[in-house]
Amino acid sequence: MCLVYILDDDEELCTSLAWLLESVGIRARCFSDARAFLRSYDRDRPACLVLDVRMPEISGFGVQEMLNEAGAALPVVFVSAHGDIRMSVRALQNGAVDFLEKPYDPQHMLDVVQAAQRTARERFDELAQRRDLLRRLDSLTSREREVLDLVVDSVPSKQIAGRLGISTKTVDVHRTRIREKTGAQSLATLVRDVLRLGPSAPGHPTRAKARPHE
Amino acid sequence: MNDLEPADFRALTQALKYCVLLHDARTYDILWANQAACDLLEWTVDELKPLKAPDMSKNARQYSRELGHRWLGQAVEDGVSATEWCYRSKSGEEFLTEAIAIRVDLPSRPVVMVQFRDIAEEKAVRHDLFRTEGRLRIFLGNLAEGIVVLDDDGGVVFASESAAKLLGVDVPALHGTDFADYCCGGAVPEREGRYRLGAPGGEPRWYAVTCQHIDIESDLRGRLLLFYDITDRVRAEEEHRRDTQHLNHLARNNAMGDMAMAIAHEVSQPLAAAYNFVEGTRARLGTGDESVAWGLGNAVRQIERARRILGSLRQYVGRLEQSEQLTDLNTIVEDCAYFIDVRAHQHAVDVEFDLSAAPLPVRCENVLIGQVVMNLAFNAIDEMARWPQGERKVELTTRRTADGNAELAVRDHGRGLPDDPPGDRIFDGVFTSKENGSGIGLALSHRIITRHGGRIHAAGNQPRGAVFRFALPLAPVQATSTEEHA
């Protein structure tokens, strides 16, 4: 079940939204303080966040920034009592899934939250797969990683052998070892996962994807 | 003292301060001179006798011997002849004199007696006077300040040319008239101040008037008014006053806008919460009690209404913060529509909006133009409020005019325009309508529109009522397409 966090300094508004969400069976947790939310946010569970823009101490944008820096996958729905176009553009550019102006239509909020939950589930699954893939790739030796990188780049075995100064036979041995170690059905599925989930090696540029603010 | 002796006469003659010369009536030779003449001319009688005109006159053509003879001859003929004659003394000093020649028929023979006196000083004084007068006349003629002197009844006893010019009449026309006819309000100024003056039937102008009583040697006495035209200054001050009022209005508007925004923010929170609670409750109720569902449904509708009000308010206030920009006149009217509808609803007036389908791009400060739209609409609504309910109709239309303007017309079916002031002067500030605090007045509307390069005017509506229109120049089209969606 995908949890919905609500972060708004107006406690009664938090309560009302939780009451609304629970009426359609969505579980929600209310926070009126950004730090309290950040402390108890559980990254290991799929979740989304309904976030107020204007709050004392840390604004909604500040919270969004911290989550982005931490590489959190949780989709954010912004709400504001005085939203303007500039504000919503900024929120969406920073990865928010939606921007609602208070007082919003509750039915619309339900639709938006449900969509955010789907997004959360997808992102969470993808993240889990990526973590799994990284864990599997971690078991490879550096030579095996070299071979895999070339395979991913569609370099034929003969040329891999030439580039690395080893025999074609040794390349085949590496390929078999890679498949066995990562528990992949075939090398082709492994290559597909690497291409789909992005990062294949530590220090690979695609890792920066999770940290858009640097 | 009836019988004077001849010796007495001689003594008297010699005591005369007037100079006397005796000429022969035929030859004009000098026969005798009295003591005063001898003293002035520095000759003895015997020395004078052989002298001719050139010997004892200023060396000038008009004192020639011939002209001297003609003068004396005239006296012989007519009995008396006067002239101005410039004599010269033995030492060469010249005296301009007023000389009168008189024929006297003495028992012995006819003679011409010339009496003369030195008039150089008088002449000089008169010349000075003449010169002073000439100068004064020129000064007065070019004076920007008008001068009039009034008698106790306000009748004009003196008027300078400048006064006549300022009042648009000529001096003779001003003389003797009642000055009250030239004073707006009919009261003649009695103390220093600003007054409106003008010829009857003409356009009065503003004058600064000073006032004092004069009494010049019982010749000219009464009230002296000095006045000069300050119409331009009065107008500038009026404009300044209006601008200040306008700025105050805007400042107030801004402060109100800030407050409205703050209130909108504060209210939106509990409203959102209430909406959530109601919807959450409705969902939990499912297909439960029908009357509860009905009540909740109505609660939702009321919350929706409050949301719309907040939305309109935000949109309107949000635009307060923007200055001149490219916008659509129809959008401005739509922004104002909520407030116009509220006012119309209060007075049960039916307002019909007929906006052009084509866009009307204009470059303007849309808050100000919005103020004008509301001002005109509110005026029309207030006017219709006094009519029977079924007839309370106001129409707002926008259109693109043939000469490339975006036009808004507000039409009512009320009493129409007042005859005084006439239609086109309704905007000049004299006609300030009712100023009940909600509108900005026609004068300000006029200034806002003209400052945007537009026109505003009022006309009668058929069969009755008034139409107020303003037109703003349409913005170039290519600019619209790039900025409209920015």
% of chain B exceeding 70 in pLDDT? 90
Rounded to whole angstroms, how far apart are CA atoms B113 and B119? 19
Segment B74-106, tens digit of pLDDT = 999 999 999 989 999 999 988 888 899 999 998
Is the ipTM reported for this complex over the cut 0.90?
no
* CATH class of the domain comprising B143-229: alpha beta
Could you tell me which of B153, B223, B166, B218 has the C-alpha nearest to residue B197? B166
The shortest CB-CB distance from B276 to any of A82, A84, A106 is to A106
pLDDT at A206 over 50: no
| Long-range interactions of A118-124: CB distance < 8 A, separation 24+ | A119/A48, A119/A75, A120/A2, A120/A46, A120/A47, A120/A48, A120/A73, A120/A74, A120/A75, A121/A2, A121/A46, A123/A46, A123/A73, A123/A74, A123/A75, A124/A45, A124/A46, A124/A73
The pLDDT, as a whole number, for residue B257 is 67
* Cβ-defined contact of A12 to B273 (cutoff 8 Å): yes
Contact of B284 with chain A, judged by CB distance below 8 Å, is answered with yes
Q: Do residues A124 and A151 share a domain? A: no
Mean pLDDT over residues B239-265, rounded? 73
Q: Do residues A95 and A27 share a domain? A: yes
The pLDDT, as a whole number, for residue A212 is 38
Residue A126 belongs to a domain with what CATH number? 3.40.50.2300
User: What's the half-sphere exposure (Cβ side, CA atoms, 13 Å) at B422?
Assistant: 1
Rounded to whole angstroms, how far apart are CA atoms B348 and B458? 24
What is the separation of C-alpha A91 from the centre of its chain, rounded to a whole number of angstroms?
Answer: 17
Segment B117-176, tens digit of pLDDT = 888 788 888 889 999 988 888 887 778 889 999 988 889 988 888 888 888 888 888 888
* CATH class of the domain comprising B232-321: mainly alpha
How many other C-beta atoms lie within 10 A of the C-beta of residue B168? 14
Mean pLDDT in chain B?
85
Count structural domains, chain A. Answer: 2
Which of A115, A131, A147 is a domain's end point? Answer: A131
The pLDDT, as a whole number, for residue A209 is 39
Contact of B9 with chain A, judged by CB distance below 8 Å, is answered with no
In Å, how far are A43, A44, B456 from A129, measured between CA atoms? 15, 13, 70
Q: Do residues A121 and A198 share a domain? A: no
Q: Mutate which of A11, A13, A84 to test chain B, going by most B C-beta atoms within 10 A? A: A13
Q: Which two tokens stand for residue A19?
A: 């009451």
Using an 8 Å CB-CB cutoff, list chain B residues near A82: 261, 264-265, 314
Which of A131, A160, A192 is a domain's end point? Answer: A131
Q: Which two tokens stand for residue B61?
A: 């053509």
Q: What is the DSSP string of A23-75?
A: TTT--EEEESSHHHHHHH--TTS-EEEEEES--SSS-HHHHHHHHHHTT----
The shortest CB-CB distance from A23 to any of B268, B283, B307 is to B283
Using an 8 Å CB-CB cutoff, list chain A residues near B268: 81, 101-103
Q: Do residues A125 and A153 share a domain? A: no
In Å, how far are B330, B459, B474 from B456, measured between CA atoms? 17, 10, 15
Confidence label for A59 from pLDDT (cuts 50, 70 and 90): confident
Confidence label for B422 from pLDDT (cuts 50, 70 and 90): low
Within chain B, all domains assigned CATH 3.30.565.10 are found at 323-486
What is the dotted CATH code of the domain comprising B323-486? 3.30.565.10
Å between B346 CA and nearest CA of chain A: 27
Which domain does A193 fall in, by range?
139-210
Å between B484 CA and nearest CA of chain A: 14
Using an 8 Å CB-CB cutoff, list chain A residues near B272: 13, 16, 79, 102-104
Q: Which two tokens stand for residue B480?
A: 């619209």
Which of A89, A115, A131 is a domain's end point? Answer: A131
Domain B6-118 matching CATH 3.90.1150.10: the answer reads: no
* Cβ-defined contact of B272 to A16 (cutoff 8 Å): yes
Segment B247-256, tens digit of pLDDT = 777 666 666 7
Residue A179 belongs to a domain with what CATH number? 1.10.10.10
